[in-house]
Amino acid sequence: MQDGDEPNRAEWIRLVLAQQQGPLLRYAARITGDIERARDVVQDTFLRLCRERPERLNSHLTEWLFTVCRNRALDVVRKESRTRTLTEIDLSSRQSDEPSPALTAERRETTGELLQAIDDLPANQQEVIQLKFQNDLSYREISRITNLSVSNVGFLIHTGIKTLRQRVRALEGVSHED
């Protein structure tokens, strides 16, 4: 029976890959600021997934993937900036870093003011907003992925939305317009 498991597991990987590579790449790209580095990170993440047993990850697969992906991405960022260790706090000042031309170009076509405003947020707010709104993860899941407390996650998201509302007029409700 165990042998029979193998092709089935490969199928599972294929499935998860098809479904999650996009979201993970977007996430990693935001951390590394570079789509190529993001691709390496996500590939690593999936190679690690190949070592896991599907049923062990079933109920928290997404969370596992994002956690591993995040750690790998932070590793890469740390290696790139050898002079200092990039901690969570450092991460929040990374906003001043220019995203790579490739990423910017990819962005420019489809997005407007709002995405720009999200890019301008402190990195920790960007990250939780991305996890919440792009990937529909709960505060608790985000908390475990980012090692922030649940209430901290809630605060960051709340503050992030507030800032975006101030900067992007379209975010103010219908009743407020004019």
* Coil vs helix vs strand at 136: coil
The H or E element that residue 149 is part of is none
Per CB under 8 A, which region of 71-79, 88-96, 163-171 contacts another protein?
Answer: 163-171
Structure tokens at 176: 């407020």
> Of 17 and 86, which CB lies nearer to another protein in the complex structure?
17
Contact by Cβ (8 Å): 89, 48: no
Does 149 help bind another protein (rule: CB under 8 A)?
no
Is residue 43 at the binding interface for another protein, with CB under 8 A as the rule? yes
Of 21-29, 77-85, 87-95, the segment contacting another protein by CB under 8 A is 21-29
Binds another protein (CB under 8 A): choice among 78, 90, 100, 171: 171
- Cα–Cα distance between 60 and 141 in angstroms, integer? 9
Selected from 42, 69, 74, 121, the binder of another protein by CB under 8 A is: 42
What is the distance between the alpha carbons of residues 7 and 169, in angstroms, rounded to a whole number? 52
For another protein, the binding residue among 75, 80, 87, 112 (CB under 8 A) is 112
Is 120 an interacting residue with respect to another protein (CB under 8 A)?
no
Of 68, 62, 22, nearest to 48 by C-alpha is 68
Which of 97, 114, 120, 149 is close enough to bind another protein by CB under 8 A? 114
Write out the binding residues for another protein, residues 122-141 only, by CB under 8 A. 129-130, 132-134, 136-141
Interhelix angle 2-32/35-49, rounded to 10 degrees, is 160
Q: Please state whether 33 falls in left (phi above 0), alpha (psi between -120 and 50) or beta.
A: left
Segment contacting another protein by CB under 8 A, of 50-58, 74-82, 88-96: 50-58
Give residues 83-102 in contact with another protein (rule: CB under 8 A).
none
**Using the rule CB under 8 A, is 167 a contact of another protein?**
no
Rounded CA separation 173/73 (Å): 36
CB of 57 to another protein, least distance (A): 7
- Establish if 110 lies at the interface with another protein (CB under 8 A): yes
Count, residues in the chain: 178
